[in-house]
Structure 1
């Protein structure tokens, strides 16, 4: 079994765009087990988009002791908030708190940038989505608290075919106690 203690975190390098896409695809296969085959069958993110995010220093990877990417978090800076766009860990590395550690990497970046919150949108009832984030200190946001940027993200999800009635926005502070 792989050792999580050997994991290091750093910004993704340009040559790792395909690795990020492969992790996203592999992680999405879990959705087939809960009859969400549309997610499992979806194509990974466009490689040009991933490269732009890497160039913008908005992708942090978890790397094993052989320099292989085993997880990543992609985010966007929204002034006072950092929006978590994607968080995926290879199935063989699941359950070792790598996802939580990736979120802490982004929380540190957010603190340094003067942002106060991490925000994300996820499926309400998928065990490794909203219930997981609740355990990590996130709370569900009510629709009235969504600013124009978050409402635009929701609209983009709808445009992509996601059922927003099954999703929630969640947030938490970026401090050690999650503020």
Structure 2
């Protein structure tokens, strides 16, 4: 399937929320939580400091997105979601690659993320993208851990912080449209 990656626009925002809720269902089915919060709205995501990239299919449908926060401590991959109908087609990998390239172009020396260590499409996937486990070192990273602890997310499995070095040489550039 052909797809392109570009920066998110206002018409994408409702689709972004739908994609995340659909993708979350895979995690819900695996972890079996008693309750799972619905995805934040695309509108709330786009208002946060940072950027969002979408993978768009030939039919102009949003097949996936990546949301990157820019904080006083650096660059953080907040969310990667691919619609279940579009998984295992390289979309997630292309989105992360494009997000890392954009981070490098913006001058960030590293990109962080928090994820489940043992969910196959979480930490093992990110390891193939150059991310490695690290201890939280910045105030932002420690705050993420505190929020996760308050939500008791580790009851579903070990949570880890991962860091990668973004590269401007990465393939998967986002198109500014």
Contact 1:121 1:168 in 2 (8 A): yes
Local SS of the residue matching 1:58: strand
Which residue does the alignment assign to 2:174?
none
Query: Which residues in structure 2 correspond to 1:45-124 (within 5 Å)?
Result: 45-53=40-48, 58-78=51-71, 81-124=74-117
Contact 1:58 1:74 in 2 (8 A): yes
Q: Does 1:170 align with 2:162?
A: yes
- Cα distance in 1 between the residues matched to 2:58 and 2:134: 38
Unaligned stretches of 5+ residues in structure 1 = none
* Residue 44 of structure 1, aligned match among 28, 39, 43: 39
- Cα distance in 2 between the residues matched to 1:131 and 1:125: 7
Which residue does the alignment assign to 2:175?
none
Contact 1:80 1:115 in 2 (8 A): no
CA deviation string 1:24-52 (max 9, x = no partner): 0000111233233357x421114541241
Local SS of the residue matching 1:9: strand
Contact 1:61 1:71 in 2 (8 A): yes
Which gives a bigger RCO, structure 1 or 2 (Cα 8 Å, sep 6+)? Answer: 2
Normalising by structure 2, we get a TM-score of 0.85
Unaligned stretches of 5+ residues in structure 2 = 171-177
Give the paired residue count: 168
Which residue does the alignment assign to 1:150?
141
CA deviation string 1:144-165 (max 9, x = no partner): xx21111012222233442287
- Cα distance in 2 between the residues matched to 1:135 and 1:152: 26
- Cα distance in 1 between the residues matched to 2:68 and 2:152: 21
